[in-house]
């Protein structure tokens, strides 16, 4: 199975991102759909064998990445190396309330172990306290480490805990800090991704960065709704089941 690399239709003059065009192209065939999934296993009780299976599936189906917890990055790298599928890992997960220096050092260590995509949790307490400069600084510390190594950063906003104003402000701060993606959720809080929240994040992002929908996406209908709302990545543990659902309908 080969992966079709998608380029979103963008009007660089206006900052417009063609949501409908991207969704249509992504849903055109199984390879394109597979290429937007971050195949994910973040349960604390996940075993070595389960992590290996996840990584083998990510490589076999040509998903966007294999997303694991920090303790499993070396193992994941050893499984996917040579496949072209990168290892993704969470940073400051799941609360985001770590010291900024801790997040930065964690990012450095994980990149050295083979991670190429970092999903970091924003400091929500700082955001809700109106301490915008510190929120941006917290994110920028990880972004600088990642970008120096050629890695990507997705900033998890945990949208279920935010007001609309906070979602908008969080998105702008993440963009100002250099985020490559705005991400909805950890999947471990009071709620996951919703099409409405994805649309808010895409509205702020325009063509400036990607939007990742994550948390509670279990069916093809869920995935389709997120793409049609503006997502360009989908984080899911049900990636294989969703892809097989798509193939059964084709």
CA–chain centroid gap for 131, Å, is 24
- If DSSP codes are grouped into helix, strand and coil, which group holds residue 38? strand
Nearest to 152 by CA among 67, 243, 31: 67
The yes-or-no answer on residue 119 being catalytic is yes
Judged against a pLDDT cut of 80, whether residue 70 lies above it is answered with yes
The yes-or-no answer on residue 183 being catalytic is yes
Residue 4 pLDDT: 36
Q: What is the pLDDT of residues 146-203, one digit of tens each?
A: 999 999 999 999 999 999 999 999 999 999 999 999 999 999 999 999 999 999 999 9
Identify the structural domains of the chain with CATH numbers, from first to last: 16-249 (3.20.20.70)
Residue 202 pLDDT: 98
CA–chain centroid gap for 54, Å, is 16
What is the chain's mean pLDDT, rounded?
95
Residue 250 pLDDT: 82
Q: Give the mean model confidence (pLDDT) for residues 51-63.
A: 98
Residue 5's pLDDT band (cuts 50, 70, 90): very low
Q: Active-site residue among 38, 103, 119, 197?
A: 119
Residue 241 pLDDT: 98
Q: Active-site residue among 167, 183, 197, 222?
A: 183
Residue 14 pLDDT: 56
The yes-or-no answer on residue 112 being catalytic is no
Residue 10 pLDDT: 43
pTM of the model: 0.94
Q: Which residue has the tokens 């869920």?
A: 222
Q: Which residue has the higher pLDDT, 116 or 1?
A: 116
Q: Give the mean model confidence (pLDDT) for residues 128-135.
A: 98
């Amino acid at each position: 199975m080969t992966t079709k690399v998608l380029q979103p239709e963008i009007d660089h003059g206006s900052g417009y991102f063609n949501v409908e065009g991207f969704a249509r192209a992504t849903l055109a065939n199984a390879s394109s759909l597979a290429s937007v999934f971050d195949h994910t296993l973040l349960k604390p009780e996940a075993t070595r064998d389960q992590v290996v299976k996840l990584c083998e599936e990510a490589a076999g189906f040509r998903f966007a990445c294999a997303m694991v917890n920090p303790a499993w990055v070396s193992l994941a790298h050893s499984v996917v190396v040579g496949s072209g599928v990168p290892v993704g890992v969470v940073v400051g997960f799941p609360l985001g309330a770590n010291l900024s220096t801790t997040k930065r050092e964690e990012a450095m260590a994980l990149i050295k172990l083979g991670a190429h995509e970092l999903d970091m949790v924003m400091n929500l307490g700082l955001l809700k306290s109106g301490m915008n400069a510190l929120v941006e600084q917290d994110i920028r510390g990880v972004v600088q480490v990642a970008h120096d190594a050629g890695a990507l950063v997705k900033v998890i906003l945990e949208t279920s805990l935010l007001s609309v104003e906070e979602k908008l402000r969080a998105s702008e701060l993440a963009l100002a800090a250099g985020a490559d993606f705005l991400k909805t959720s950890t999947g471990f809080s009071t709620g996951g991704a919703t099409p409405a929240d994805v649309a808010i994040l895409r509205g702020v992002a325009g063509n400036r960065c990607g939007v990742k929908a994550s948390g509670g996406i279990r069916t093809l209908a869920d995935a389709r709704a997120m793409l049609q709302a503006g997502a360009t990545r989908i984080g899911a543990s049900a990636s294989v089941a969703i892809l097989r659902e798509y193939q059964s309908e084709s």
